[in-house]
Amino acid sequence: MRQQAHRTRLHIFLQVTFVLFSACSVLEFCPSTAATPQRKQNTTSRSKPDRRNASPPNKKPWWQHAVFYEIYPRSFKDSDGDGIGDLNGITSKLDYLAGLGIDAIWITPFYPSPQIDFGYDVSDYENIDPQFGTLADFDRLVAEAHKRRIKVIVDFVLNHTSDQHPFFVAARASRTSPYRDWYIWRDPKPDGSPPNNWSSSFGPVAWTLDAKTNQYYYHRFYSQQPELNWNNPAVEKRMFETVRFWMKRGVDGFRLDAVNFLFEDSQFRDNPVLPELRPGSTTEYQQELKYNRDLPEIHDVLLRLRSFTDAYDPNRILIGEAYVPQTAELMKYYGPANNELQLPFNFFLVMGKVRTNLDASIFRSVINESEKALQGRPTTYVLSNHDIPRAFDRYGDGKNNDQIAKLFATLLLTLRGSPFIYYGEEIGMVTTEPKTIEEVRDPVGKRYFPANKGRDGERTPMQWDASAGAGFTSGQPWLKIPPSARRHNVAIADKDSSSILNFYKRLIRLRRNSPGLLDGDYRSIGDDPHILLYRRRTPKHTMLVALNMSNQSRSVRLDADTTKSSNRLRVVLSNQPTSERKLIENDVRLAPFEAVIIEGDTDQDTD
């Protein structure tokens, strides 16, 4: 996946992030908690009933109640000591994920690839890159995941292939190749320059001249990622066959990469040029992606793709990566009758001011706007992923980072929608950027260093223990192990009842057993500038969430409607020691950066 349209704009915020960044906090800010200490993890024999993926009473589809976990396979677990994570490594950690309470994993690309964009340049859609394993390893991963009731989502890179894919090799061989029209070719302008002004996400120009046939091919991303021509029905047919291939192997869904770039303007008109320079460049200006993003033809393909997966099995889902500027545009990806993507990613919490500002008013306004547009549709808010610096340090103040990480865990797991946890968020991993250009592995970082150091910082190896390889590898890791691994790792966190990890476990368990959090509607309460307060409610169950986004102790009053219509209000979870009373009359008292969840029974008569 890549930043797409917003890449350059997001980098402005990245720069802000760099300023805010402070060295990883290794201070322990939650030395004790009155919450029940976590039972020593035993992932294969849970004593509590496990409702993961069980059909809830109202028969909602599995994915609406699922907790997802994103795995960047290069960085999760290396099973053979070559310094690169692999499929067998993931399989070896499924018990850990089951213990955390995960219902589904999304694995970013592991297909054969020259690895120019670390797997998002696919040279064979129906195989496994040898550095990640074999098809047999994949089948074993799926079988072992399913044994633990963990669903498996794979990435589907449908907008472009690698330039080493046999289709493109054939396409560029001659203008009369049967595969020529599988890609997007245009003649040079009379002066030999590219056919229009479109820029690439990763460089100045989205066109590369094929000298042999004297035509340019289009690539929104790296030049090694030529774009497929989705106007050609043969492309769609072949790519849908790939979807069937993986469904037959048992995958439960697809995350569609860069899906809003499938089509281009038929006249290839120039995009409007914006006044802002691209970060890291003194000559390249940003563009409004008017003619190569979010074109209406995309929805015809998505309607057909959804029919295709539904006909195979309606439980297989489509998740879409579409960074769109407005909520109204996101709505289109659900389809006119909710018959396109089940889950277009909701990126509005990582765009604009909310991306780096720990500010209750801003969060309230972004979430409210989103909820208003969504009108109860399923959704998934995103706080971090392999293209976005980690929330831990985006919002951390350098002193209370662990506490703030728990606050954001509470937000992610109590908002309406299916949460996606990015690997390592649950142990407080910190964005750790390369210090020198020689250390940079992400090509975009090599190009625009140091203004843009690329995405290595959020892709560092998972921190399993305090050993030299962090339990990730016995060899030389492909990216350096962050210094924070010595204190923030699974082995230490597992033993500490007040760790971020154990807080996630308690939250996930609470969520799984809470009708209000699973199915309740969302209503924002009040307009406190420091405390984000909201209610999730079903006819029988109320959950209130209060998040103090400030470094001061504060209290907030519950509204009369909630207190009148909800019985037996009680605090069920806090990221602070709970020895003092949090709820006095209708006031919720909050310590600095405290997150509190209050449960109540809904009184139907007064509802």
Would you tell me which residues interact with Ca ion (CB under 5 A)? 78, 80, 82, 84, 86, 159, 227, 261
Nearer of residues 78 and 494 to Ca ion, judged by Cβ: 78
Whole-Å CA distances, 595 to 12, 153, 356, 469: 29, 31, 19, 34
CB 418 to Ca ion: min, Å: 27
Q: In this structure, are residues 547 and 534 in contact, taking their beta carbons and an 8 Å threshold? A: no
Chain Cα centroid distance, residue 304: 25
Sheet holding 207-210, edge to edge: 185-186, 215-218, 207-210
The nearest distance, CB 78 to Ca ion, in angstroms, is 4
Residue of minimal Cβ distance to Ca ion: 86
Q: Per residue in 200-233, is it b (16+ CB within 10 Å) or e — as a string?
A: bbbbebbbbbbeebebbbbbbbbbbbbbbbbebe
Between CA 390 and CA 350 the distance in angstroms is 10
CB of 76 to Ca ion, least distance (A): 10
State the minimum distance, in angstroms, from the CB of residue 108 to Ca ion: 15
Q: How far is the CB of 301 from Ca ion (least distance, A)?
A: 11
Nearer residue to Ca ion within complex by CB, 263 or 503: 263
Round to whole Å and give the CA distance between 199 and 264: 13
- Least distance CB 375 / Ca ion (angstroms): 30
Q: In angstroms, what is the minimal distance from the CB of 405 to Ca ion?
A: 29
Smallest separation, CB 225 to Ca ion (Å): 10
Residue 86 in contact with residue 76, Cβ under 8 Å?
no
Q: Which helix (H) or strand (E) holds 556?
A: strand 554-557
- Whether residue 85 contacts residue 76, with contact meaning beta carbons closer than 8 Å, is answered with yes
How many other C-beta atoms can be found within 10 angstroms of the C-beta atom of residue 585? 8
Catalytic residue among 257, 387, 519, 528: 257
CB nearer Ca ion, residue 332 or residue 554:
332
Measured from the CB of residue 214, what is the shortest distance to Ca ion in angstroms?
A: 22
Max Cα–Cα distance, the chain, nearest Å: 79
- Cα distance between residue 598 and residue 337, in whole Å: 35
**Residue 432 to residue 458: CA distance in whole angstroms:** 7
CB 79 to Ca ion: min, Å:
6
Is 257 part of the annotated catalytic residue set?
Answer: yes
Residue in 86, 137, 227, 321 annotated catalytic: 321
CA distance 268 to 262: 14
Q: Which of 157, 275, 266 is nearest to 221 (CA)?
A: 157
Q: What is the DSSP string of 461-484?
A: PP--SSSTTTTT-SS--SSPPPGG
Q: Is the alpha carbon torsion for 513, 516, 518, 524 positive or negative?
A: negative
Closest alpha carbon to 64 in 384, 412, 237, 317: 317
Task: Label each residue of 214-282 as H, E or C.
Answer: CEEEECCCCCCCCEECCCCHHHHHHHHHHHHHHHHCCCCEEEECCHHHCCCCCCCCCCCEEEEECCCCC
Nearer to Ca ion, 287 or 548 (CB): 287
Please identify, using beta-carbon distances, which residue of 82 and 465 lies nearer to Ca ion: 82
**CB contact at 8 A, 152 and 105:** yes
Residue whose CB is less far from Ca ion, 83 or 280: 83
Measured from the CB atom, is 82 or 496 closer to Ca ion?
82
Residue nearer to Ca ion on the CB measure, 106 or 261? 261
Nearer to Ca ion, 67 or 87 (CB): 87
Considering only CA atoms, which of 152, 156, 158, 157 is closest in space to residue 316?
152
CA atoms within 13 A on the CB side of 335: 20
Distances (CA, A) of 557 to 471, 526, 581: 46, 9, 15
- CB of 120 closer than 8 Å to CB of 221: yes
| C-beta closer to Ca ion: residue 78 or 433 | 78
Question: Which residues are known to be catalytic?
Answer: 257, 321
